[in-house]
Amino acid sequence: MAPDRDGDRSTVTTPAQSNWTPSSWREYGASQMPDWPDDQALKESTAELSGYPPLVFAGEARTLTRELASVSRGEAFLLQAGDCAESFSEFSADDIRDKLKVILQMAVVLTYGAGLPVVKIGRIAGQFAKPRSSMTELVGGVEMPSFRGHIINDDAPIPSARIPDPTRMLRAYNQSAATLNLLRAFTKGGFADLSQVHAWNQQFVAQSAEGRRYEAIAGEIDRALAFMRACGIDLRAEATIQQVEFFTSHEALLLDYEEALTRRDSLTNDWYDCSAHLLWIGERTRQLDGAHVNFLAGVKNPVGVKLGPTTTEDELLALCERLNPERIPGRLTLTTRLGVDRVTTLLPSLVRCVTDAGHPVVWQCDPMHGNTFSTEDGRKTRHFDDVLGEIRGFFGVHREEGTWPGGVHVELTGDNVTECLGGVEQILEADLPLRYTTTCDPRLNALQSIDLAFRVAELLRT
Contacts with ligand PEP, residue ranges (CB under 6 A):
84, 131, 251, 282-284, 306, 337, 366, 369, 441
Q: Which stretch binds Co ion (CB under 5 A): 84-92, 186-194, 276-284, 320-328?
A: 84-92
- The span from the CA of 227 to the CA of 220, in Å, is 10
- The span from the CA of 75 to the CA of 319, in Å, is 25
Nearer to Co ion, 166 or 370 (CB): 370
- Angle CA(462)–CA(67)–CA(260) in degrees, nearest 5? 130
Contact between 285 and 131 (Cβ < 8 Å):
yes
Nearer to ligand PEP, 131 or 166 (CB): 131
Site string for Co ion, 399-438 (x = CB under 5 A): ----------------------------------------
- Shortest CB 306 distance to ligand PEP, Å: 4
- Shortest CB 195 distance to ligand PEP, Å: 33
- Shortest CB 130 distance to Co ion, Å: 7
306 touches, from ligand PEP, Co ion, none (C-beta below 5 to 8 Å by class): ligand PEP
Residue 203 gets which letter from DSSP?
A: H
- Answer for which of 441, 442, 446, 460 binds Co ion (CB under 5 A) is 441
Nearer to Co ion, 56 or 81 (CB): 81
Contact between 249 and 217 (Cβ < 8 Å):
no
Sequential DSSP letters for 171-187: HHHHHHHHHHHHHHHHH
Nearer to ligand PEP, 29 or 159 (CB): 29
User: Pairing mode, if any, of strands 380-381 and 303-307?
Assistant: unpaired
Give how far the C-alpha of residue 447 lies from the chain's centroid of Cα atoms, to the nearest Å.
19
- Shortest CB 81 distance to ligand PEP, Å: 11
- Answer for which of 49, 71, 79, 84 binds Co ion (CB under 5 A) is 84
Nearer to ligand PEP, 148 or 306 (CB): 306
Nearer to Co ion, 81 or 84 (CB): 84
444 binds Co ion (CB under 5 A): no
- Shortest CB 147 distance to Co ion, Å: 13
- Tell me the three state secondary structure of residue 398: helix
**Gyration radius of the chain's alpha carbons:** 21
- Shortest CB 341 distance to ligand PEP, Å: 16
Q: Which stretch binds Co ion (CB under 5 A): 82-90, 107-115, 301-309, 337-345?
A: 82-90
Nearer to ligand PEP, 10 or 310 (CB): 310
Residue 189: other Cβ atoms inside 10 A: 12
282 touches, from ligand PEP, Co ion, none (C-beta below 5 to 8 Å by class): ligand PEP
- Tell me the three state secondary structure of residue 327: coil
Contact between 263 and 274 (Cβ < 8 Å):
yes
Residue 263 gets which letter from DSSP?
A: E
Sequential DSSP letters for 1-56: ----------PPPPHHHHS--TTGGGGSB-TT----S-HHHHHHHHHHHHTSPPSS
Nearer to ligand PEP, 84 or 361 (CB): 84
* C-alpha separations of 180 from 96, 185, 364 in Å: 10, 8, 24
- Shortest CB 364 distance to Co ion, Å: 15
Residue nearest to ligand PEP (CB): 282
Q: Which stretch binds Co ion (CB under 5 A): 20-28, 80-88, 94-102, 343-351?
A: 80-88
Sequential DSSP letters for 110-170: HHHHHTS-EEEEEEBSS------SSSEEEETTEEEEPP--TTT---SSSGGGGS--THHHH
- Shortest CB 253 distance to ligand PEP, Å: 9
Contacting residues toward Co ion, per CB under 5 A = 84, 441
